[in-house]
Structure 1
Amino acid sequence: MTTSTRLWLASASPRRRELLASIGIMAEGQGVDIDETPRPDEAPLALVARLAEEKARAGHAGHPERVVLGSDTVVVVDNTILGKPADRDDFIATMQRLSGRRHQVMTGVCVIGPAGVLTDTVVTEVQFRTLAPDEPAAYWETGEPQDKAGGYAVQGLGAVFVTRLEGSYSAVVGLPLAESAALLARQGINAWQAAATDADR
């Protein structure tokens, strides 16, 4: 058995590639250039579903011989999307908004291949504890929040804020693995390939 390299990931995110590798799916790929502006009155869940498909279609246009995966993730509170912090003040305001309450991480996944266009969406509920007044500024100084949607990394230092998570942990990191693996299997790419290859040596 050989490790598959047929998967093309329409994303520049190293976290998504690492997540796929963790379940034995090797991927090549790069980011795609699409307009990610929400449409008027577009709900966050509809947005991530649309953008995941647009990314996958853009990737597939350049690599029609490959199975292509596109994904998009947003952090949502009060039905408002929280993007990457613009600056320190924006980040602190975001942390104050998340403090002591629940928010949603919404992810769309689209896989294009022999089985056609397959999609799924995942919503994970995340509970933050109440933050001490000096914690947001201290967290900002670590450098971790500056390129993260919603301003935190659940797989990193931001884990200390999360008291409860209902749904897909890997989706909060960057890609819902159970759902993605199911879509990929329908396209002929199965999990555990790298592990099986190692075991055969």
Structure 2
Amino acid sequence: MDSLTPRLILASSSPRRKMLLQQIGLTFDVLVSNIDERLDHDLPPERIAEQLAFEKAQAVAASCSNALVLGADTIVVDERHILGKPADAADAYRMLAHLSGKTHQVITGLTLISTAHIPQKILMRHETTDVKFAMLTPRDIERYIETGEPLDKAGAYGIQGKGAMFVEWIHGCYNNVVGLPLYLLTRMLREMSFHFE
């Protein structure tokens, strides 16, 4: 990367997002934005995901020059109800029982902010994937919660981990369910004229 190319900054501490960026060979720095992730339930879920991604990117971009800041936020939506990270094991149980046997949506909002432009250049998009869960028994849910995996995941499961055994099928981008839709991201990077190949 030459000195004229802005550095890519991931505004997230998510190990899954870091892994996915590394998977496609991107070099980046991590600066975590500590925003208050309050949801505006008057907005449609797609806009909520985009807005949270924008707020994360904006908070980091405010202190960076010649950078391309990536903000991302993934939400799980069941019948228009947003399922965030569970507060505790009982909340995780409630979420997983609610998802059992049904199809839900995973939506990731992405924002890119270029601080190399004056005014800043901003791009916002989202990706949606349908996920069908198998019917879960109470013991299925209890055993999964005992692993600890659901407690820091939106919707109380991780498709890249043990939660994969509950997923009958998906329609759409798999990486979106993990937390970063790579195809959409690469299109956005090209739109921002960011050279990474």
| CA distance in structure 2 between the aligned counterparts of 1:64 and 1:181, rounded to whole angstroms | 22
Aligned residue in 2 for 1:75: 76
**1:11-22 matched pairs, under 5 angstroms:** 11-22=12-23
Aligned residue in 2 for 1:199: none
- Structure 1 window deviating more from structure 2 (49-58 vs 166-175): it is 49-58
Alignment partner of 2:138: what SS? Answer: coil
**1:49-60 matched pairs, under 5 angstroms:** 49-60=50-61
| CA distance in structure 1 between the aligned counterparts of 2:195 and 2:179, rounded to whole angstroms | 19
The answer on 1:165 being equivalent to 2:170 is yes
CA RMSD of aligned residues (A): 1.8
1:77 alignment partner AA: D
Aligned residue in 1 for 2:24: 23
Per-residue deviation, residues 80-134 of structure 1 (Å, max 9, x unmatched): 1111111121111111100001000011101112571111111110000111221
1:79 alignment partner AA: R
Alignment partner of 1:105: what SS? Answer: strand
CA contact (8 A) 2:6 2:66 kept: no
Offset of residue 42 of structure 1? 2.0
1:151 alignment partner AA: A
| CA distance in structure 2 between the aligned counterparts of 1:88 and 1:70, rounded to whole angstroms | 28
Offset of residue 5 of structure 1? 8.1
The answer on 1:181 being equivalent to 2:181 is no
**1:4-153 matched pairs, under 5 angstroms:** 6-113=7-114, 114=116, 116-153=121-158
Alignment partner of 1:16: what SS? Answer: helix
- Where relative contact order (Cα < 8 A, 6+ residues apart) is larger, the structure is 1
Per-residue deviation, residues 148-180 of structure 1 (Å, max 9, x unmatched): 111000000000000111111111101110011
Alignment partner of 1:126: what SS? Answer: strand
Per-residue deviation, residues 18-50 of structure 1 (Å, max 9, x unmatched): 101101112111220222211251221111111
| CA distance in structure 2 between the aligned counterparts of 1:5 and 1:112, rounded to whole angstroms | 11
| CA distance in structure 1 between the aligned counterparts of 2:9 and 2:79, rounded to whole angstroms | 34
| CA distance in structure 2 between the aligned counterparts of 1:153 and 1:91, rounded to whole angstroms | 12
Alignment partner of 2:62: what SS? Answer: helix
% identical equivalent positions: 43
